[in-house]
Amino acid sequence: MSTEIVLTNARVVLPDAVIDGTVVIRDGLLAEISEGMSAAGESLDGDYLIPGLVELHTDHLEGHYAPRPKVRWNPIASVLAHDAQIATSGITTVFDALRVGMYEDTDIGAADMRKLADAIEDSVRHDRVRADHFIHLRCEVSAPDCMDAFAHFEDEPRVRLASLMDHAPGQRQFASFDAYAVYYMGKMKMTDEQFRLYCEKRMAQSEANSARNRQAVADACRERGIVLASHDDATVAHVAEAVDQGIRVAEFPTTTEAARASHEAGMGVLMGAPNVMRGGSHSGNVSARTLAEAGLLDILSSDYIPFSLIQSAFFLGGVVEGINLPRAVAMVSRNPAEAVGLHDRGAIVAGRRADLVRVRLDEHVPVVRAVWREGRRVA
């Protein structure tokens, strides 16, 4: 039996324009988009109607599962708490980031990541979640156990994205030792001598493991059709390596030089929405606004604050000349969807999935008033 929903009196954000109009949903798909009001249907009272947001890199789930050192929460409850915050932030498709490869002083392990993956799968199978969930493997290629941990996900069909990263001092995100010292000495309360020894160990691990693990993960992902991302590239040489390994997404490039080279190579350049909202990187790297002004920003990710994604979509056009609302919304919907091959969503276009978000601006802050996934209201 066919089902139809009519949403009218909305400011509909299309790929290249904003119209005052009506959207008809039929059997979970966008059937008709037109200007003007309809006599039938639900009035949205002039609120914005935008495509459901697509999140490629969120570390948010892990915080629900391990909220304190040595504390582990029920993994299914953790997934549901994470999912509720994701969906009510307007995110209808989410790639949950799970860590692969950990240093020995990390208070979480590969078995924990596998539990979370199983909890995601179980929750999807039993229709507990509101958003559409996939898995993004964050592969720390400098870690000795990277490939052993990667093997935990060999037969996991929900894995659709994997990023290659090296957080050792002197590498990529932490090319600056000063920035690395501020971050890790503050986080781990080390003395100068402890920090020196810590750095030496991490650099030795990077030298021993990074190149071979990076290539091994890249080869395995290409064989399985998993989209590859490169994390924190800083130089043209880093980007050239990424091109050779078939990278499609440049996650958080740390310099304008690397972002430009990635963009010119056809990669989707992804930056953090918190970076946009704060006006700069917490690690002292290039600002997302700077890349937006240069035309080098394609995709935004909420990273560690889910609501920052929708905030940045409505904020970016006000601070960067030449970026209008449709273009900003594309950075959080169509562009990330297409970067990972999900061409059935991400834009209000007839025939695509009816993943939609009703938004009202209140003192420049977007308020999510309703969310639909495949035509079904989930928030």
> Quick one: pLDDT at residue 296?
97
Question: Which amino acid is present at 368?
Answer: V
Q: Is residue 366 part of a domain?
A: no
List beta partners, residue 71: none
Q: Is residue 197 part of a domain?
A: yes
- Cα–Cα dist 146/216, whole Å: 10
DSSP state of 107: S
CB 65, CB 81: distance < 8 Å: no
> Quick one: pLDDT at residue 185?
58
Q: What is the band of 163 on the pLDDT scale with cuts at 50, 70, 90?
A: very high
* Domain containing residue 66: 52-346
List beta partners, residue 51: 356
Q: Is residue 32 part of a domain?
A: no
Q: Is residue 73 part of a domain?
A: yes
- Cα–Cα dist 47/37, whole Å: 13
Total number of domains constituting the chain: 1
Short-list 298, 284, 279, CA closest to 255 = 284
Q: Is residue 26 part of a domain?
A: no
Q: Is residue 142 part of a domain?
A: yes
CATH number of the domain bearing residue 264: 3.20.20.140
Q: Is residue 74 part of a domain?
A: yes
For residue 216, pLDDT over 90 is answered with: yes
pLDDT digits (tens, 9 = 90+) for 235-253: 999 999 999 999 999 999 9
Q: What percent of the chain has pLDDT over 70?
A: 93
Give whole-number Cα distances, 134 to 52, 64, 156, 290, 374, in Å. 15, 17, 10, 30, 16
> Quick one: pLDDT at residue 305?
95
List beta partners, residue 64: none
- Most confidently modeled range among 52-61, 163-172, 187-196: 52-61
71-81 CB burial, b ≥16 within 10 A, e <16: eeeebbebbbb
List beta partners, residue 32: 24
- Cα–Cα dist 29/145, whole Å: 43
- Cα–Cα dist 293/286, whole Å: 12
